[in-house]
Structure 1
């Protein structure tokens, strides 16, 4: 399996940039942004990648099953990642945020505070072997899910029968075994998909998708994505940088002014736009 990285790289969370002698040391454009996908070094065999804004965790599933970090506060040398300063041998899954690293072992869940020098996890939970489901990845855990912010553990109602869960910057998107989608958290940028901009403290069905079976969900900082059983892609939320697959508000406004100088563009929030792509 080969992994490639691209995008914001100011903390070397994507890859370590090697400067040449001829390169202007005052220019940091090559370090801050990786515009072309670059293959990640030393990722041989089966592995998983987990990322936050300034950090990357690489989970190696072969042999000892260990985790290594890159990015902010990682001890980076000439390699593209460094070992975590905790024992991760036997780890089967991991998620990382700006403040915490959560590790899943066959018998327990551990959450480590990346800003603390303590050599013990800030939170842990034992897992009964008989309740373990190898098909479910973090952040789901038996009886609830792991959040990227404290409080770390949140319980879920058993009637939801959660299949997978995605965490955004301030919201959560849940996919049930029946293919229904629920969301909750902050809704200030339309990331919840409920047609408004108010927060939801409890999981609420995304009614626009009701009756259509979904097979996967994902969440960005302020936008959400899901894929239907038929291969259709649905996206909603903030679109200031075109992350919904549409031109951003600024680009649309400039384009409309060129074609229709007299026509004004509404100041409506891009988060209310809903896309549907036919993947068949």
Structure 2
């Protein structure tokens, strides 16, 4: 237990704070001007400075400079910002698909599951084709383990993002139409898709639509997710 009083350090006069998000080892500051500053541990790209170095002082995320941000969130080793226009920018660690980009680990697991289901059928097809899978042109998939600068994620083309929250290794976002989308690590059921499957692509949580509920806010714990909803009134004839 610390017996000393909390440490106080004043920010630079131009850094007027609007909100602050804390990750496992880093901080994301949203200024009143809409600029984003980060500092702390940077080993997983969570600071968004196109590198893996740590920062002791708040440093502007230059990739977002000139764009007005309205909200920020931080996970274990990833960060998120929402623009005034409802666009979602993410950066940092993506091993579990938490920033919505292709994850090698998740795709490998899905491929293994598909191969087990296909079984001998795939082997027969290779034999009949007479093609050596090691010969000829190969298609190289692009996987992202660390995204060291903000990347724009198109969660849904039909509407904007209203609010977002991050767990340790998952992310949840609410749209302006009241839908909840989740992605990342799902082995504790934190994605709400009635499975324990992880996902590196945003997927809508269908439960709320089925129950005629509109999501208005979401808060992620380390391994869980809480949503605030409004029950939609069904018009009576």
* TM-score where L is the length of structure 1: 0.44
- Deviation of 1:40 (Å): 6.7
- Deviation of 1:175 (Å): 0.3
Larger RCO of the pair (alpha carbons < 8 Å, separation 6+): 2
CA distance in 2, matches of 1:144, 1:48: 17
CA distance in 1, matches of 2:203, 2:170: 12
Q: 1:162 to 1:193 in 2, by over 3 A?
A: same
Q: 1:155 aligns with which of 128, 141, 153?
A: 153
Q: Secondary structure at the match of 1:196?
A: coil
1:216 maps to which residue? 217
CA distance in 2, matches of 1:136, 1:91: 8
- Deviation of 1:123 (Å): 7.5
Q: Secondary structure at the match of 1:166?
A: strand
CA distance in 1, matches of 2:89, 2:172: 12
Q: Secondary structure at the match of 1:125?
A: helix
CA distance in 1, matches of 2:190, 2:172: 9
- Deviation of 1:226 (Å): 1.5
1:139 maps to which residue? 81
CA distance in 2, matches of 1:224, 1:165: 11
2:133 maps to which residue? none
- Deviation of 1:225 (Å): 1.5
- Deviation of 1:154 (Å): 3.9
2:21–2:28 CA contact under 8 A, matched in 1:
yes
Q: 1:54 to 1:203 in 2, by over 3 A?
A: closer
Unaligned runs of 5+ in 1: 1-8, 10-16, 20-37, 62-89, 103-109, 231-280
CA distance in 2, matches of 1:51, 1:206: 26
- Deviation of 1:163 (Å): 1.3
- Deviation of 1:221 (Å): 2.3
Q: 1:111 aligns with which of 49, 58, 63?
A: 49
Mapping for residues 1-280 of structure 1, pairs under 5 Å? 17-18=2-3, 41=8, 48-56=19-27, 92-94=35-37, 98-99=41-42, 100=45, 102=47, 111=49, 113=51, 115=53, 124-125=62-63, 132=68, 135-137=70-72, 138-141=80-83, 143-149=87-93, 150-151=146-147, 152=149, 153-156=151-154, 157-210=156-209, 211-229=212-230
CA distance in 1, matches of 2:19, 2:158: 30
- Deviation of 1:183 (Å): 0.8
- Deviation of 1:201 (Å): 2.6
* TM-score where L is the length of structure 2: 0.50
- Deviation of 1:135 (Å): 4.0
- Deviation of 1:178 (Å): 0.9
CA distance in 1, matches of 2:88, 2:20: 23
